[in-house]
Structure 1
């Protein structure tokens, strides 16, 4: 079944007069309720390759849970979160030394604006979970978080959402900057949404996922998580704190802001390195000369004085990796 045919639109007859002021798209101080993010390149630990948006035949995927998990293990993944729609799965017995299966969910509360339903990931949601489709969006987020799950906003471009929908709720930690499954509708990238939220003061991280429904999609995008241990507590803490980067191909080896206000990145061979900041111009882009590659770049921010800076690097095939933003202190 195609992913786009699995959902119906939320009801659009909700009178605007019934929408609470708090959900009218007014800017909030911070939807994530976080003040900063960790820099994984300055943290202790080991890198773990994670698939954080994965479907099986328990919703609209093409294979069952054991087959799907084995597909990712065969591709060298360390972590797989099974995020079937509106339900969790019994993953007992799938986590072994060196590999972790993470009980999770994709959930779909109605928007307050009348736009198509929200799509959120609840990562680390214990099984079983009794899904209540009648809960308003904020109550559903709060309930799933109360069980220990970490919530992320999925593919806002594919869903047709705007800043209004993204700010009518709070309590989520980040947004999918890339969702490979949405390539079929040419709506895979969420970087513009991410930057708009960052520009308004929302402290959000960025995930890359393959949102797999068909076996041919396995392993085309991932999130590299830095943690001291491969256990649920450590991985969920890393997701909470933004201790990861997102990729559909390139490797990011280092990303640091020095006391001299120079931002520096080291990565695998790429053709383009883009530093993104708030404000006009949106940053600085470095291109490799013809026949050459880039593996590092630096940029002096001392005169720019942005509120945040992040970096994305792209290889010759257009595959990209994204750092989480570093927030500059006043």
Structure 2
């Protein structure tokens, strides 16, 4: 139940909220636990190209479900999560051995702080789902999770949220580090939000999505998921374990931490490779020499010893790929 504590400070009335503050992946005693997430480059499976934020005419998209799914199928996508606002869709009959239509939803419970509503994504939510507007934010997250859904936080910059709103609810596994649908408002990226949460001990992963509403927006950003099979159970398990990376185009071929504490990455041709870590300085950046490109980078962490390290790969067109964090 939502509880509010009213107080007066310096002559100005204010409202604060007492809310849950425990995350599904939060490790209070030892946030630097590298076993919390699965490194997709150190596990068996097959890579699947996934669109994880998709709208149709059943909410505010411009085409119906079959048309939207065909658009992604024609572009070589293997997984499409239809995330219409406040409703699921009947996706029976659209999946086959090469394509998975994943029943999902975007939901919008009220914030406790009074900021604009939360935008949250529930993957693998069975259809039909009865949307209950009267539920509090935490109650709604708990409800979709009880149905088997994996919850992620959508576009916090676009929504005008801060660390306050992101920590007033629990149970989500990651956030959209990039949302192409928000580029018109110049608020697509969420690296700062991600790093702030990681630095506070919240073990969160990062997705890249289209948030497609118009057909011209299809296929601009995606998430590469590594899973044992192309079925609901395997894909949801991979999403839940962080067995994926996010991208607008660059390909990541390998990313791992060696026994001698060197973080290494191999990728498609890049202009910049940036390792991001906890603490001051935020990491190390490698830039390609003029007329050349980078396809790998290595950084010795044995002396710095950060709590976590993630990587960003940016090509000459300005497109980026993001790994999930590795914990030392």
1:140 is aligned to 2:140: yes
**Displacement after TM superposition at 1:33 (Å):** 4.3
Residue aligning to 1:7: none
Separation in 1, partners of 2:174, 2:258: 25
Residue aligning to 1:3: none
Q: 1:167 to 1:16 in 2, by over 3 A?
A: farther
TM-score when scaled to structure 2? 0.93
Q: Judge conservation of contact 2:91–2:102 (CA < 8 Å) in 1.
A: yes
SS in 2 for 1:263: strand
**Displacement after TM superposition at 1:22 (Å):** 3.0
SS in 2 for 1:56: coil
Separation in 1, partners of 2:109, 2:72: 29
SS in 2 for 1:239: helix
SS in 2 for 1:140: helix
Map 1:143-292 to 2 at 5 A.
143-292=143-292
CA root-mean-square deviation: 1.3
1:32 is aligned to 2:25: yes
Residue aligning to 2:30: none
Separation in 1, partners of 2:113, 2:24: 17
Q: Deviations over 1:251-295 (max 9, x none)?
A: 000001001000000000010000000111100000000000000
Q: Judge conservation of contact 2:199–2:278 (CA < 8 Å) in 1.
A: yes
TM-score when scaled to structure 1? 0.92
Map 1:47-196 to 2 at 5 A.
47-196=47-196
SS in 1 for 2:273: strand
Q: Judge conservation of contact 1:31–1:167 (CA < 8 Å) in 2.
A: no
Q: Deviations over 1:50-107 (max 9, x none)?
A: 0000000000100000000000000000000000000000000001111000000000
Q: 1:89 to 1:187 in 2, by over 3 A?
A: same
Separation in 1, partners of 2:263, 2:248: 23
**Displacement after TM superposition at 1:21 (Å):** 2.2
Separation in 1, partners of 2:198, 2:24: 10
Separation in 2, partners of 1:19, 1:224: 39
1:22 is aligned to 2:27: no
Q: Judge conservation of contact 1:30–1:201 (CA < 8 Å) in 2.
A: no
Separation in 1, partners of 2:262, 2:6: 47
**Displacement after TM superposition at 1:134 (Å):** 1.0
**Displacement after TM superposition at 1:49 (Å):** 0.2
Q: Deviations over 1:5-47 (max 9, x none)?
A: xxxxxxxxx8856754235xxxx46453466110000010000
Q: Judge conservation of contact 2:26–2:201 (CA < 8 Å) in 1.
A: no
Query: Unaligned stretches of 5+ in structure 1?
Result: 1-13
Separation in 2, partners of 1:229, 1:300: 35
Q: Judge conservation of contact 2:5–2:17 (CA < 8 Å) in 1.
A: no
SS in 2 for 1:286: strand
Higher strand fraction (1 or 2): 2
Separation in 2, partners of 1:201, 1:113: 22
Separation in 2, partners of 1:128, 1:292: 53
Query: Unaligned stretches of 5+ in structure 2?
Result: 8-14, 28-32
